[in-house]
Structure 1
Amino acid sequence: MNQAIIMIIYIVAIVVMMYFLAIRPQRKQQKEQEMLLESMAVGDAVLTTSGFYGTIVSIFEDDVIVEFGGNKNCRITVQKKAIAQVEKTDNSEN
């Protein structure tokens, strides 16, 4: 009986450690990414997950139109979740 209680304590301790080492940091990172995506505005410089740098031209519910390079004709619709970094510019709308 005593060994069973010790085994249960070990299992509970392992589950608590996994929560604090794996699940909690991942949730924090997801929350930061969501805040980043919500703070995007037209004119912000972005980096996509595929490594392309561009400027936001238009924002929709789940997608954004990003202009790549200096060519005004190179505009691509990208999902919001494909944005890795956002750099605010002085002329961005709030």
Structure 2
Amino acid sequence: MGIIQCRSEPRGTEVTQSSAPVFHFHKSSYSDAELECVEVSTTHPHLIAIRDSKNPTAPTIQTTPTAWTAFTTALTRGHFTPGP
């Protein structure tokens, strides 16, 4: 399906404005203000960023558009079952 990475800079790593991508996140139209939800950024053509809407300052999960499309397609086709 592709690689999904969690972006979290190691201690002592300086992230400058020019080296860190700027993401503009949006919530799904299916989300509810009271429920847990993820936010997605498609700002960059080669990178999708995902974050927890309840914790927007936490590290993001980043993946390729191809992997994200495969994941969301599998979700809509019911290939995943809800956990307990």
TM-score (ref. length: structure 1) = 0.21
Q: Which has the higher contact order (CA 8 A, sep 6+)?
A: 2
TM-score (ref. length: structure 2) = 0.22
